[in-house]
Structure 1
């Protein structure tokens, strides 16, 4: 304990002299798997705000679970765009997805978390990457979209579907459509991780028929909410 307090004092002294802020070690950061609270909203840490809350029975035990989308609340990341392209104001604070299972004890437990699947809204010319989120049955879905009104012809939509498997929020379904608006070129992907099969197609938005090519998902490839990374970069 003495060593910990001395280290903390040294860090504060360094900050005062150099205006350098050192991040705390991972164990003391806001989101800790296994942490329990009586109320779901108590998982919103200091310096963050509740962006959205979704409820439903994720683990099939008849209790209402919660998925919180929280966003860091740093005023410095509330950006005013003075360049004239895109939106005038946008919030570039990162967001995190917290899955809270309602346990028999009556408490909520943080059972899964992602701090990266929702890409940061860091450019005024792109739309908010988070299109929609919800729970249908016991499946959580997240829709991540990319659309730019300047700087890129690309447009894409990704839907992630997750289900609690007893240990993690496992990805059970993934669908992606990517379009180049200047040429009409389109690629599509649909993956069922429960059957281990995927289908892919390349063509044009003007095609009357989609020509799918089927293949197997590699053995052992089992993505989870916490392992996917940036939603813009995941392709299945």
Structure 2
């Protein structure tokens, strides 16, 4: 009987021991779970703190970029409005060229304008409607707060769509170099001519003229005029008759020029503002 109770007591002792072990393990697991939960909460807390800051930072960057783009757009619009304010009614902007024209280190502005008159349109020989409206020029000098008009001439250039006959019409190019204004007419295989103006006495004065009369790659005749000195140089290619207009190879023939110097009559310098039609300019 005693042995029976002892065996029962031993079994209960083992059971109690096992339960204690289980309790210890359970407590350890609970502690580990609480520790992991705490770490996770800290990580979430840091993430929650960092994300709003990053979001705010990114948002500020986006806002700053948008505001900057908006400011640049407003500047561009203001600049465009400031220039177009000088274009008279009945005209539109055809071309804009920038450069220093009065040696003050600021970017001045040359506007080529074009009339928009309805009666300036006509039909060509093919029946196409062509814009024959004439063009003009406005020179603006830069100032601290904008521009001021230096010279204006609204109708001195013919249309870019003039009939060139068997060839295209001359193309007007505007060049600013060494504070001088060059009006250059390109005429492809037939050569070019160019007018040089310099600002003085409150206008742009015609001080030089250059022209080259060509036949393809061959220069037939060249002219250079200095209106300040009143001297004209005419260079004639005396071998021009040797070149074959139908040949693609005239490399063995040299261009030899004979120069003639002409003294021009003394006249006041021409003003850009007073030239009525560049196509009708003649120099004697």
The normalised TM-score by structure 1 is 0.66
Greater relative contact order (Cα 8 A, min sep 6): structure 1 or 2? 1
| Counterpart in the other structure of 1:13 | none
Contact 1:118 1:130 in 2 (8 A): no
Counterpart-to-counterpart distance in 2, 1:47 and 1:113: 15
**Measured at CA, do residues 77 and 227 of structure 1 come closer, stay the same or move farther in structure 2, by a change above 3 Å?**
closer
Aligned length: 187
Q: Post-superposition shift, 1:80? A: 4.2
| Counterpart in the other structure of 1:137 | 178
Counterpart-to-counterpart distance in 2, 1:210 and 1:69: 36
Bigger helix fraction: 2
1:23-50 per-residue CA deviation (whole Å, 9 max, x = no partner) reads xxxxxxxxxxxxxxx8222111222110
| Counterpart in the other structure of 1:94 | 134
Contact 2:175 2:184 in 1 (8 A): no
| Counterpart in the other structure of 2:230 | 196
| Counterpart in the other structure of 2:192 | 157
Larger displacement relative to structure 2 (64-73 or 186-195): 186-195
Contact 2:191 2:212 in 1 (8 A): yes
Moved over 6 A (4+): none
**Measured at CA, do residues 192 and 185 of structure 1 come closer, stay the same or move farther in structure 2, by a change above 3 Å?**
closer
Bigger strand fraction: 1
Larger displacement relative to structure 2 (131-140 or 172-181): 172-181
Counterpart-to-counterpart distance in 1, 2:184 and 2:153: 14
Contact 1:116 1:231 in 2 (8 A): no
Confirm whether residue 177 of structure 1 aligns to residue 217 of structure 2: no
Alignment of 1:28-177 (within 5 A): 39-83=82-126, 88=128, 90-103=130-143, 106-120=145-159, 121-123=161-163, 125=165, 127-145=168-186, 155=190, 157-177=192-212
| Counterpart in the other structure of 2:8 | none
Alignment of 1:211-226 (within 5 A): 211-226=258-273
Counterpart-to-counterpart distance in 1, 2:193 and 2:220: 14
Q: 5+ residue gaps in structure 1?
A: 1-37, 148-153
Contact 1:74 1:93 in 2 (8 A): yes
| Counterpart in the other structure of 2:256 | 209
**Measured at CA, do residues 221 and 178 of structure 1 come closer, stay the same or move farther in structure 2, by a change above 3 Å?**
farther
Contact 1:89 1:124 in 2 (8 A): no
